[in-house]
Structure 1
Amino acid sequence: MIIVVGQFRIPAERMDEARPLMAKVMLATRAEAGCIEYNYAEDVLDPGLIRVSEVWESRAQLGAHLKTEHMAVWGEERTALGLSGRAITVYEADSGTAI
């Protein structure tokens, strides 16, 4: 199992424009083979800070995701929105245990 955790920043004044674009890429990604979870969440204490969390069945499926058309489009869109502070980390994990 592959877990992806991170964050990026969109200027707070552009968030109304960013939300539908983020929703579009989330829906497309969630339909991909191997995607268990794919989430963007706005930090309620820091406007414009977006938290990223993803879970994938395998690193190969994550790699295929990064090459999709919708990710290429999202890359252009987020650049145009003024994305900054992107920090994403990939972890390998077992299936986990509920707590």
Structure 2
Amino acid sequence: MIVVVGQFRFPAARMEQARPVMRQVIEATRAEQCCVQYNYGEDVLDPGLIRVSEFWQSREHLDAHMQTAHMVQWQRERAELGLSGREILVFEADQGVPL
């Protein structure tokens, strides 16, 4: 299992424009066969800060995801929206257990 966690930021004034774009990439990614989970969440206390969490079946699937048309489009659109502060980490993990 591959776990991806991190964050990025949009200017708070651009969030209304960013939400539908984020929704498109989330929906397209969740439809990928080997995507286990793919989530963006707005930080309640820090407007414009987006938290990322993803789970993939393998690193190869994550790498393939990064080459999809919707990710290429997302990279272009997020730059146009003023994305900054992107900090994303990738981890290898077991299946996990409930807390």
TM-score (norm 2): 0.99
Partner of 1:39: 39
Q: How much does 1:80 deviate?
A: 0.2
Q: How much does 1:39 deviate?
A: 0.4
Distance 2:84 2:68 in 1: 22
Partner of 1:61: 61
Partner of 2:80: 80
Runs of 5+ consecutive residues of structure 1 not aligned to the other structure: none
Residues 15-72 of structure 1: per-residue CA shift (max 9 Å, x gap) = 0000000000000000002100000000000000000000000000000000000000
Which contiguous aligned blocks of 4+ residues in structure 1 show a shift greater than 4 angstroms? none
Percent identity over the alignment is 64
Amino acid at match of 2:83: L
Runs of 5+ consecutive residues of structure 2 not aligned to the other structure: none
Corresponding pairs, count:
99
RMSD: 0.3
Q: SS at the partner of 1:47?
A: coil
TM-score (norm 1): 0.99
